[in-house]
Structure formats: structure tokens, C-alpha cells
Amino acid sequence: MVSPFRLPSAAALIASAFFCAPQADALESPWVEAGRAEVRLLADTGSDKNIRAGVEIKLQPGWKTYWRYPGDAGVPPRFDWSGSENLAIAEIHWPAPKRFVEDNGTKSIGYHDRVVFPVSILAADPARAVKLRLKLDFALCEKLCIPADVQLSLDLPPSLGDLSESIQQAVANVPRRVSLGESGNLAITNVSIERGERPRAIIEILVPQDAAVQLFAEGPSEKWALPLPETIEPANNRMRFVLDFDGAPPGAAPIPPKLTLTLTAGNEAIEVEVPLE
């Protein structure tokens, strides 16, 4: 979820700096306990004054938390930076998630063990310190789910080191944004719509042989509750998924105007936005 400080015209600039930085040590806040998890802030900044931060959640064995779209059940984390000082932008980047299937058949999407959410940050005044103040609300689930919330703080001087190993690895786990049909080792090659009484999408993908593959679909807003795509018979030497267009919000057409597809295979992940209108 993007903070209310986000300014779209500058976001691309800091994201570019975020994803192309060298490695050094990070500044860290103390761990804060939150039920069956611990949470802390990480941060560093390069000589260009663009700060890169991270929100790290360490989960106890058997527990999980959720992605921005949680699936059949669960609550996505909410990041509130409104208490911060000298902060112009705080943009969350989402690492590639995993699919979880419960004993009752419920399917959810999220993370287990440990996750670091990279954050692109821009100071309002680069010559002054940034005082990060985060209120994080999220859910923790094992057999049952419990709400959790923490308040974290980290004061950043105007100049620190370059990108730390922890944040660098977190950035590497964020899916690459590519175009539909863009060739590569991992690709979403085609999306076709079958209309009728129960419309659905057929999604063709290209993945490395024998890779463990997962595909996630999101509608144009969080009001949509699309199911997880399911595999069907391959065709044209391509692996295929079917996505039933269930879960439209009240008053919306059954076929969304666009989809965001996230494809993971092993340690690789891509994200593709597909217009359907």
C-alpha cells in the first residue's frame, strides 16, 4: 500500500536509485514484538540523498502474514507513515509472495518465516534528517488469525551508507515489471478472454522447465476479489492457467478493465499489467 506522501512524478526517480545501488551497512531500529512476530525498520541512503528503507517482519515457525492481495482469507498489511517528519514519499515494494492452501481448501497469499518490504523514501528537505514513524497493522495466521499492530521509529541523518545486504536482497525479491508478451526466461505470453454467461481469462506463460510455478491475479482495485488462477492443459508449448472472473464489486461489469498478473518460478518473478478493455 502506498503512503499518502507518495508523489507520482518523483516516485520513478527514487525507485530507479533504489534498484541500482551498491552494498553497505544499514541503520536498524530495535525489534518490536507483535504477537507471533517481531518487526523492525531498516534504512540507508546513497550519496544522491535517495533513501532506501525496509520493513522487516520475522515470523515464528508455522505462522504467516499476507501480501497486498491476501486471497480467500486474510488482511493485507497497512503502512501508515503519517507521523513521520521531513518525509515527502514512502512507497512500499512488495516481494513475490507464496500460495498457501489450508486443510479446508481455503487459499491465501503471503509470506512465512521472514519478509522484508523495501520502501522508497524521499526527504522533503535532503539537507535535514528524516524521522520515520510507522504504524503497521497486519494479520498473523497459523490455524487461526490474530490482528497485530506495532509502532516503529527510526531517525535518519542526511547521509548514511549505501544499500545494505538485507535491503539489497529484499529488492531482488520484488517482481520485475515487464510487458505482456515480452520475451525472456520467464514471460506471460498471451491473455485471451472467453465471454459468455461465466466469463474467464486464459493465460499462457513461458517458464523454465521443471520450475515451481505460481500465478496471482489482481483486479483494478482492492474492491475486486478474484480467485487464484488454476492450471489447465498446456497448448502451443505453453503452460496455461484459467482465471474465472468471480468477485466483481457491486455494480461493476464482470470483466475487469485490467488485470495485474504476478508470475513466480523458482527465484524469479515478474509483474505484468494487462488492459482488457
Q: Which fold has domain 8-172?
A: Immunoglobulin-like (2.60.40)
Helix, coil or strand: residue 128: coil
Nearest to 1 by CA among 69, 47, 58: 69
Residue 8 Rama label (left phi>0; alpha psi -120 to 50; beta):
alpha
Is the separation of the CB atoms in 70 and 76 below 8 Å? Answer: yes
206 forms beta bridges with 187
Residue 181 Rama label (left phi>0; alpha psi -120 to 50; beta):
left
Helix, coil or strand: residue 94: coil
**Every domain range in the chain assigned CATH 2.60.40.1230:** 8-172
Q: Which fold has domain 176-275?
A: Immunoglobulin-like (2.60.40)
Task: Per-residue pLDDT tens, the chain, 277 aa: give them.
Answer: 334 444 344 444 444 444 444 444 458 999 999 999 999 999 875 544 456 799 999 999 999 999 999 998 889 999 999 999 999 999 999 999 999 988 888 899 999 999 999 998 888 998 899 999 999 999 999 988 999 999 999 998 876 555 567 788 888 899 999 999 998 889 999 999 999 889 999 999 999 888 899 999 999 999 999 999 999 999 888 999 999 999 999 999 999 999 999 999 988 999 999 999 7
What are φ and ψ of residue 237, in 5° steps? 60, 30
Q: What Rg, from alpha-carbon coordinates, does the chain have?
A: 19
Is the separation of the CB atoms in 167 and 52 below 8 Å? Answer: yes
How far apart, in whole angstroms, are the C-alpha atoms of residue 100 and residue 236? 29
What's the confidence (pLDDT) of residue 26? Answer: 57
Name the E strands within 81-237. 87-92, 98-101, 107-112, 114-123, 130-141, 145-156, 163-164, 176-178, 187-194, 200-206, 213-218, 230-235
What's the confidence (pLDDT) of residue 105? Answer: 82
The angle at the Cα of 95, spanning 91 to 23, to the nearest 5 degrees, equals: 75
The type of residue at 76 is P
Burial pattern 141-154, b for ≥16 Cβ within 10 A else e, equals: beeebeebebebeb
